[in-house]
Structure 1
């Protein structure tokens, strides 16, 4: 016998007396083997390979554009689905973003030591300044790459007093063309566990270019630090939080 279930504000649902083994299932593309796995929802995706999109000034139709893409990735970090959550207003640009996201790779999220699929959102800002054909000042920068010379790293190499030490210089090789003829600064903070492993990186000042921000995050996440401990903290552990910043200046490439 069919029963009708009415919920205020929602559509009418019909329930049937199916046995559990006959209930229909919904399978997500590329995740058939993981449909029973826990799913991590996030508002900030971390990338191993950030989506790369190239566009020309004319495609923006005289104004900067932005969009939000909903991203699904499996436990290996492979993007299994991408769809427009908020559009740029131009279908062709939206499709370029979808293609770029599908070709990228997400950093898997670990829960209880096991990688799980994720669903999250990535914001993109497409500006006239960063258009591919806006080449002003790029010639002299084409052979220049920035390394990880953060404010803290410079102090550390000068043997100045610091609250922590990077065990080695974080790996970063940032193409100066990404600066688009403008100085950029990234400020960030991160937490460190008892073994000195960086656990969480959060940007407190964005550079204005997604690719720059993501490369800095990845460099910090893959490093390890040594925390200066006092005699009061030798036998107890409290998660430590630190701040640093890195500046990318055009004059350093002249």
Structure 2
């Protein structure tokens, strides 16, 4: 029996020494291991990663990458690693740094929040020197009514932030209809896409932007249960023109 244990102990370093290295940015360890992590292919963010890089860092072409993300039950990112490289080390490092400083929306099962392991896809567009960048803002129906002083069931305390360009629309006008579940303090607890745009990146950005802000809601809506509010946003093709 002792001989078997000795073989097992000596074989472990040998296996580790011959495994392929993985680019990883190690952060604070998970605060709890009481429950297994929630595995997902689509991460919901409270604060979406915002990588900082220059246009020329893309080496004159569009880039994409996939980052594997681990977060504890509070939403704090504990580990980020490159699952699929952009092909440019500087871009990969910028993505890891952005993910490390972002905040994941905790996954909740009943009254318990769970650690999360998931993947985030990044699509980075190279902009030619003579190409105008057409950015879209979060001009939803409720936000526009709010800016015009019209009556609405709720208002946003600040305008949600998007990072969408016309290239993301893939040559079509896109519409996203969604609903928000909020508590009595106006915190958005959940965002559900009722009618998607047909492009995951657009739907995800709207979802992340909407759940990162606080709402003002009339007290009469809290008589029986947490409120579910609806809004929608249209991204018109060629709106910059």
| Residue pairs, 1:146-165, within 5 angstroms | 146=137, 149-151=139-141, 154=144
- For residues 182 and 166 of structure 2, the distance between their equivalents in structure 1, rounded to whole angstroms, comes to 38
The residue aligned with 1:201 is 192
3-state SS of paired residue (2:42):
coil
Distance 1:110 1:62, change over 3 A: same
State the aligned residue count: 207
For each residue in 1:99-123, what CA deviation from the matched residue of structure 2 results, as whole angstroms up to 9, or x when unmatched? 1111111122222212221111111
How far has the Cα of 1:53 moved from its partner?
A: 1.1
The residue aligned with 1:169 is 156
Gaps of 5+ in 2: 9-25, 219-224
Please report the TM-score for the alignment, with normalisation by the length of structure 1. 0.58
Distance 1:223 1:173, change over 3 A: closer
What RMSD in Å do the two structures reach over aligned CA positions? 4.6
| Residue pairs, 1:75-114, within 5 angstroms | 75-114=73-112
Preserved contact between residue 183 and residue 248 of structure 1 (Cα < 8 Å): no
- For residues 78 and 198 of structure 1, the distance between their equivalents in structure 2, rounded to whole angstroms, comes to 17
3-state SS of paired residue (1:125):
strand
The residue aligned with 2:72 is 74
- For residues 125 and 78 of structure 1, the distance between their equivalents in structure 2, rounded to whole angstroms, comes to 23
Gaps of 5+ in 1: 5-13, 15-27, 160-164, 227-236
How far has the Cα of 1:81 moved from its partner?
A: 0.3
Query: Which of the residues 193, 204, 211 maps onto 1:218?
Result: 211
Preserved contact between residue 71 and residue 116 of structure 2 (Cα < 8 Å): yes
Distance 1:94 1:112, change over 3 A: same
Preserved contact between residue 170 and residue 222 of structure 1 (Cα < 8 Å): yes
- For residues 43 and 50 of structure 1, the distance between their equivalents in structure 2, rounded to whole angstroms, comes to 16
Query: Which of the residues 48, 61, 64 maps onto 2:62?
Result: 64
Preserved contact between residue 27 and residue 79 of structure 2 (Cα < 8 Å): yes
